[in-house]
Amino acid sequence: MKIKKKKKSKGQRGNNSYGHGARKKWKGSGHHGGCGMAGTGKRADHKKSMVIKLYGNKYFGKQGETSKGTERKKAKVINLDNIQKNIEALMKKYGKGKELVLSEYKILGEGEITQAVTIKARCFSESAKQKIEKAGGQAILAKEKVEKEAPVKETKKPSEKDQKPAAKKTNSKENAVKEIKKK
């Protein structure tokens, strides 16, 4: 006859599920994937339907401002040395007669240009403009801002008949003095 029965917990030590089958079966409802909103990351399908219903698709992913380092310059730029190296290819693609039309680009002055080329571009750096003119070419702005004078509408000047005499501002003392003189 056995006097002291061996406890079940001693045999379960080192066992993952402790005799309750699959690990997730014996957990309380609050322990599936953590508490509250735990487990609602991008890849987790665990509570995704609930999250989308409550917050919409803005819950996932990055929102807001990015750092200044991630901003990219949107303006297209090209240096004079690149134009000099690829002058033939550029003239085939962007050339109109003897003129090189780079209307989307800003021309920068790094390098030298030896050929006299008329370049039409969005804008030029000062050094690029000087080097192009020194080589015998021309630097022309593609979209020059032409300020047209707005037509001046002639307003009808009021005639003397239409004008009302302006009320003269005078002191009451002056009025009194004038009245005395009239008498």
Mean residue pLDDT across the chain: 79
Distance CA 132, CA 138 (A): 6
The predicted-structure confidence for 138-177, as pLDDT tens digits, reads as follows: 999 987 544 455 555 666 666 665 565 555 555 677 777 7
- Correct CATH for 76-141 of 3.90.79.10, 3.100.10.10, 3.40.50.150, 3.40.50.300: 3.100.10.10
Domain boundaries, the chain: 76-141
pLDDT confidence bin for 51, thresholds 50/70/90: confident
User: How buried is 81 (Cβ within 10 angstroms: 0-12 exposed, 13-18 middle, 19+ buried)?
Assistant: middle
Beta strands in 8-153 (DSSP E): 76-79, 95-96, 99-108, 118-124, 138-141
Q: Are 135 and 114 in contact (CB under 8 A)?
A: yes
Please give the pLDDT value at position 161: 59
Please give the pLDDT value at position 147: 47
Report pTM.
Answer: 0.42
